Amino acid sequence: MDRRRIVMGNWKMNKTPGEAVELVSQLKDGINTDKLDVVVCVPFVSLADVGRLIKDTNIKLGAQNMHFETSGAYTGEISGLMLKELGVEYVIIGHSERRQYFNETDQTVNKKIHKALEYGINPIMCCGETLVQREAGVTMEKIRMQVKRGLQGLTPRQATKIVVAYEPIWAIGTGRHATANQAERVCAGIRCVLSEIFDEPTAAKMRIVYGGSVTGNSAKTLFDMDNIDGGLVGGASLKADFENIVNC
């Protein structure tokens, strides 16, 4: 199955709007987007400026979260409708940092995914196990639950718009990435879960990526695996190394 590869940068709460413009201006000239999709998930306050800057390129604009309602009394929140108007094409949903610090649950993840799709925004749904869960041998149980609950109620057609990001929590921001075999085993497991939820042809079309301390040195071995269609990159997306990851 020929799935188009995708590499996404998750900037988290880094870079002011001015710094964001500077970083994306450099990035624009250094990366080749002919063979893969490249997405920059920047802070909300930089979406408009970065969106203008990449308008005539193949780099796509991504957000890091959104609310599951369209508008209303939700102080401090941002809706899919607002993101859509700014040209956002991808949105990260259910990142482990949001689950840990902002009470994101599989239920809110599911509602957000439905809402993002309503606006034609492609959700990047994150899942992953803690070190304790990995050591207890329950990695796949945890992932299965997150994926099944997160994607509940979607049609196969909607499912093909989703990117599933396998991000072991012990690998995020730690400098310790999963080995290619560890990551491939879980990503292959996710594809099986997707074919149980939807069907085999749908699962074969869906993109599954790995995230967790990916660098220019580790990217190629990870992305060469059969069930890993690219990466979600945190720390390294803020540096010139992102170009090495994309171009590898």
Task: Provide the annotated active-site residues.
Answer: 95, 167
The minimum distance between CB 41 and ligand PEP, in angstroms, equals: 9
The DSSP letter of residue 160 is: T
Q: Which of residues 219-248 bind ligand PEP (CB under 6 A)?
A: 232-236
Q: Closest separation between CB of residue 56 and ligand PEP, Å?
A: 27
Rounded least distance, CB 70 to ligand PEP, Å: 27
Based on the shown chain and the rule CB under 6 A, indicate whether residue 212 belongs to the binding site for ligand PEP: yes
Helix (H/G/I), strand (E/B), else coil: 145: helix
Structural element, H or E, at residue 8:
strand 5-10
9 touches ligand PEP by CB under 6 A: no
Specify the DSSP class assigned to residue 178: P
According to CB under 6 A, which residues from 156 to 175 bind ligand PEP?
A: 167, 172-173
- Binding residues with ligand PEP: total (CB under 6 A): 13
**String of DSSP letters for 51-107:** HHHHTTSSEEEEES---SSSSSS-TT---HHHHHHTT--EEEES-HHHHHHS---HH
Nearer to ligand PEP, 80 or 212 (CB): 212
Least separation in angstroms between residue 165's CB and ligand PEP is 7
Number of DSSP helices (H) and strands (E) in the chain, helices first: 12, 8
Rounded CA separation 85/92 (Å): 17
Query: Would you say 65 or 213 has its CB closer to ligand PEP?
Result: 213
The correct pick among 6, 7, 9, 10 for binding ligand PEP (CB under 6 A) is 10
**211 lies in the site for ligand PEP, by CB under 6 A:** yes
Sign of CA dihedral 123, 54, 119, 204: negative
What is the chain's length? 248
Rg of the chain's alpha carbons, rounded to an integer?
Answer: 17
Number of neighbouring beta carbons within 10 Å of residue 76:
5
With respect to ligand PEP, which residue has the nearer C-beta, 198 or 210? 210
Q: For residue 177, give the 3-state DSSP assignment.
A: coil
Q: Closer to ligand PEP at the Cβ: 30 or 173? A: 173
Nearest distance in Å: CB 7, ligand PEP: 11
Residue 163 vs 198, nearer CB to ligand PEP = 163
Q: Which residues bind ligand PEP (CB under 6 A)?
A: 10, 167, 172-173, 211-214, 232-236
